[in-house]
Amino acid sequence: MQELFTHLINQAYRVYQGKLIPEIIKPVNISYYLEFGGFELSYNWYGRTRIAKELIGKLKIYRKTIHVDIRFAYYLANLTSFDNNYQQDYNLNRLIHTLAHEVAHCVISDYGLLLTEEHSEAHEKLTEELENFLWNTPEVQELSKLQRDNKKLKKLSK
């Protein structure tokens, strides 16, 4: 699953790099690869982006890492818990939105814009575009199909 998410975020990032502010020929904080940092438990966010800068002499290398809440992994694995209400908030729709939202942060940060300005109208529009892009990828369509099939099997086993 880790590879799938790494592939998806990089696919979306590459398609949308340079589209936010096309008149800027060379964005200032560009990264050539996004890392999927995995699943972490959080009570404050569905996903987050961490941006780091490494200096090598005068060269700046930017690293952008996306994490998502572990409850998305529970949902994908169809795990149950004492609180099965988590599946209302942690589902495939929210996961795809969260990935799009975090990739939008990465694209915006290419231009040196502060993450505190992240939830602007431009960010919302970019998130929506990225979300539509992701839903139309064969990878997300296959993931959606697997989730539907998994739910059918679970119902049959009851």
Position 2 pLDDT exceeds 80: yes
Name which of 1, 13, 8, 12 is nearest 39 in CA terms. 1
Q: How confident is the model at residue 95 (pLDDT cuts 50, 70, 90)?
A: very high
pLDDT for position 81: 63
Range with the largest mean pLDDT of 19-23, 47-51, 87-91, 146-150: 47-51
pLDDT of 109 higher than 70: yes
Encode 30-47: b = buried (16+ Cβ within 10 Å), e = exposed. bbeebbbbebeeeeeebb
Greater confidence (95 vs 29) lies with: 95
Report pTM: 0.87
Place of tokens 């690869």: 33
pLDDT at residue 48 tops 90: yes
Q: Kindly indicate the confidence band of residue 25, based on its pLDDT and cuts at 50, 70 and 90.
A: low
Residue appearing with tokens 């529009």: 125
Query: What string of DSSP letters covers the chain?
Result: -HHHHHHHHHHHHHHHTTTSSTT-SS-SS--S-EEEEEEE--SS-SEEEEEEEEEETTEEEEEEEEEEEHHHHHHHTT---S-TTHHHHSSHHHHHHHHHHHHHHHHHHTTT--GGGTTSHHHHHHHHHHHHHHHTSHHHHHHHHHHHHHHHHHHHT-
Q: What is the rounded average pLDDT of the residues 101-118?
A: 78
Residue 115 has pLDDT above 80, yes or no: no
Please, which pLDDT band fits residue 150 given cuts at 50, 70 and 90? confident
Question: For the chain, what is the radius of gyration of the CA atoms?
Answer: 17
Q: Are strands 59-69 and 34-40 parallel, antiparallel or unpaired?
A: parallel
Q: Residue 128 and residue 108: Cα distance in Å, rounded?
A: 14
Average pLDDT, the chain: 85
Q: Both tokens of residue 70? A: 């572990």
Q: In this predicted model, which residue has the larger pLDDT, 150 or 107?
A: 107
